[in-house]
Amino acid sequence: MKIISILNYKGGVGKTTFTVSTCQALALAGFRVLAIDNDGQHNLSLLLGNKTYRPNIRDVYLSSLGNAGKNFMHSIRETGLKNLHIVTSQSGLCSTEVKDPFILQKTVLFCALYKFYDYILIDNGPGLDILQEAAIHASDEIFMPTELSYFAVNGIKDLHRIVSEKFRNECYIAKIIPNFYKNTKSQKKYLKNMRELFPGKVTNTAIPFDNTFDECMREGKTLFINRLYSKAAAYYLKLMHELFDLDEEKTWEQVVEKRKQRLRSEARKRYYKRQSNRRNLKPSTGNLLQAFPMQYDKTDSSRDEIPQSVTMTM
């Protein structure tokens, strides 16, 4: 089992979008994945769980070790995707509620999560306070999505220095993922600069700026189910090959097959729902006679059956 924190000093760089897309891609590729929302804004919870639940990650931080394990296991919820579970967050989660920065690490070990999951991805808010520290202590690696700008590059340098000094024997920045790439001259310059500063850490795949991500987040869609043939999905599958050493062709076949299964399942659900609605809405003869008193004569034996055209109209 590998535990990965998604981290960046800066907000608005696509951390949650990256976490959602990566979790879904790994789950569709057949891995057992747990997503942990470690952010008081709880956007990951809204995207994968549709709402927040109790207990959640805040209850874990507020508990003693024994109760933390119990609360953590009860916090794990299913998502709409097989093999992908989530521990939600809630509004109000903040660093002052973390009494023990090692509680998440202890809880993961206490619950023996390696028996149940192949990957755990922790989505963090911007900054580096005790809340993010708790995630780093529990993690093996850090993935850092970033935009390509002057301040973003400086922020990465500062964070890389702090992590290297403070968490030297625990965790490290494994990969830096360029995000919102538009192939402009300035972005090419910053990308070249980052690769020189952090050799071997910046991914070859840069995620392009694409409105598909916003559409999926806004409409609650799954990128690899509902927008599989988009540019965004294609680049993310390339990124999965690079980050997790997955075979591109095999992963594509797995995702396509899971997509077919999911779409067939959704189609069946829609069909049965329509059939159920039709049965519930189908009016009785008595209701029709009341609705159309001038068209139906109770004494007319030729009107014993409801005409098919009227039934369809209703």
Beta bridge partners of 121: 4, 35
- The per-residue pLDDT string of the chain (314 residues; one tens digit each, 9 = 90 and over) reads 999 999 998 888 889 999 999 999 999 999 999 999 999 888 899 888 667 778 999 999 999 888 999 999 999 999 988 899 999 998 888 888 898 999 999 999 999 999 999 999 999 999 889 999 999 999 999 999 999 988 888 889 889 999 989 898 889 999 999 999 999 999 999 999 999 999 999 999 999 988 888 888 788 788 888 888 888 888 998 999 999 988 888 888 888 888 888 888 888 888 888 888 887 776 555 554 454 454 444 444 444 443 444 434 33
Question: CA 308, CA 313: separation in Å to the nearest integer?
Answer: 9
2: nearest Cα among 123, 171, 118: 118
In contact, 28 and 255? CB cutoff 8 Å: yes
- The token pair at 247 is 């075979």
Q: Does domain 2-247 have CATH number 3.40.50.300?
A: yes
In contact, 135 and 8? CB cutoff 8 Å: no
Question: CA 88, CA 76: separation in Å to the nearest integer?
Answer: 8
pLDDT value, residue 282 = 62
174 burial type by CB count under 10 A (0-12 exposed, 13-18 middle, 19+ buried): middle
Question: Position of tokens 């879904």?
Answer: 24
pLDDT value, residue 308 = 45
Instruction: Name the residue ranges covered by the structural domains of the chain.
Output: 2-247, 267-313
